Structure formats: structure tokens, C-alpha cells
Amino acid sequence: MVQNIQDVNVGSMKQKFSKVFFVFVSIVGIIILYFVINPFVIVGAGERGVVLNFGAVQDSVLGEGLHLRIPIMQKIVKVDVRIHKSQTDAESVSKDLQDTKSTIAVNYHVVPEKANKVYQSIGIDYKARIIDPAVQEVVKAITARYTAVELITQRERIRGEIKDLLNKRLGVYDILVDDFSIVNFRFSQQFEQAIESKQTAEQLAMKAQRDLERIKIEAEQKIASARAEAESLRLQKENVTPQLIKLRQIEASIKAIEKWDGHMPKITSNAIPFIDVKSLDKD
């Protein structure tokens, strides 16, 4: 009787263990199966999903969000369509055969609805395959149109031309240029020294010109002052008449009388100074 009870308990435990084991294996199997034939795919923000049917690129492009796919048959490749920055070093030669080195920064993005075409024709590594070579080619083409001095003085115009041409080259591959800038623009050391010497000479020439103009103005001021003084003397001379001279003599005599203290001056000679009173009555 006891033996039968023990057999029943062991059998019951085996059944329970078998059920638990079956449930565990089932869950593990479902998890593995889910990851192997996952029918769901999430396309993140700033991404597009390229649909591949047995490796063949399809015309449809998946937008952001949750999507269903056919397991085994379909594969979804995510392509980033946000704005990216590419910085490229480019070497070129100017119209007057001056070597130039520049660092070019380009902001670009893949056309979202053309993500499948970009993936099909270029792949994911489009920066190394398309962006950098296009930048170098365009910079060389535009730089060759201008002299070294024009590259410095017309930088904004050259920047616009490079951006326009780069947009045409990359537009063929469904990649758009959002912004473009010349981070650095360098010439050979000899040319930079020549430019510096030229600027120094121009500054000295401008200073000499300013000094010459200052001297000329000062000379003209002196001439004008001398002319004014001469004109003043001429006018004074014209105004000196016999009547004015006689008036000045009378004024001087009156002042002498006013200052006389009534004493005769002490002099060694016998001459006595006198005032010609009769002359005062003339005229």
C-alpha cells in the first residue's frame, strides 16, 4: 500500500516536471523563433527603411515607425537621411599656376524618398565613395578659373559657384547639399610672403600719399595766409592819406603836451624843443 502511494507521488512529480519543462522549452523556442523570423521592424527618427525581397531592392521606402515584413523573404535596411557634415582637404592650382590647399566643409543629406536608389547605386558608405571625390573635383574645376589674388578677394563668389556645381554633381546621386563653407584656404609660403610684401608696400605708398596731401594742404594754407596779409597791408597803404598823416601828427602832439610836466628838458645843447602851434592851424 505504501509502495503504491510512493509510486503515485513520483509519477505525479514527473508529470508536473514534464509540463514545466515543456512550457520552458516552448517559451525559449518562441523567443528564438521571434528573433529568427521577426515580422516587425522599427524605423527610427531621421531614417528610412529600404525593403529587400531576397536581396532585391524594392520601389517602396518605409517611413518612421513600426512596420511588418515577411520573414525570411524580406529584409529592411535602415538608411540615415538626416543632415551630415563632411570635411574634406582639397588641393588645386589657380589660373596663374599657384598651388592652393583648402579645407572644405559640406552639410548634406540623402533625399528621403530616394533612399532605396542611393542604397542600390552607392550603398551606405556614400561619403567616401561620392562626397569626398566630388568635393575635390569641383574645387579643382572652380579654382582653375581664378587667379590666386581673385581667390582671396572674391571668396564669397567662389564659394557660391562651388556650392552650385557640387549640388549638380551630387544631385545625380540623390544627395542634396544643405550648406557649404571654405574652412581654410592656403597658398604656398613664397606666395604668402609676396602677398605680405605687397600689402606692406601698398600701406607705405598710402602713407606717403597722405603725407604729400598734408604737406600740399599746409603749403596752400601758408600761401593763403601770406596773400591775406599782403592784401591787408595793401589796403592799409591805400588808406594812408595826407590828411590821415596830419591827424596822426596832431594826435601825437596832443599826447606830448598832456605828458609835459611844465619843466624844460635838461639838455646840454642850447636848443629848446618847441611845438609848431602854427602848423596845427593849417587846413
Calpha distance 147→103 (Å, rounded): 18
Q: Which residues are registered as beta bridge partners of 65?
A: 43
Q: Give pLDDT tens digits for 74-113.
A: 999 999 999 999 888 888 888 888 888 888 899 999 999 9
Nearest to 93 by CA among 43, 44, 144: 144
Calpha distance 96→110 (Å, rounded): 37
Q: Could you tell me the domains of the chain?
A: 2-80 (no CATH), 84-187 (3.30.479.30), 242-281 (no CATH)
Q: Give pLDDT tens digits for 27-68.
A: 877 776 666 667 889 999 999 999 999 989 999 999 999 998
Phi then psi dihedrals of residue 85, to 5 deg: -115, 130
What does 80-141 look like in DSSP terms, one character per residue? E-S-EEEEEEEEEE-TT--EEEEEEEEEEEE-GGGHHHHHHHT-S-HIIIIIHHHHHHHHHH
Task: Identify the DSSP state of 268.
Answer: S
Q: Give the pLDDT of the chain (283 residues) as one tens digit per residue.
A: 545 555 555 556 666 667 777 777 778 777 766 666 678 899 999 999 999 999 899 999 999 999 988 888 899 999 999 999 988 888 888 888 888 888 889 999 999 999 999 999 998 888 888 999 999 999 999 999 998 888 888 888 988 899 999 999 999 999 999 988 888 778 777 666 666 666 666 777 777 788 788 888 888 888 888 787 777 767 666 666 666 667 667 777 777 666 766 665 555 555 545 445 444 444 4
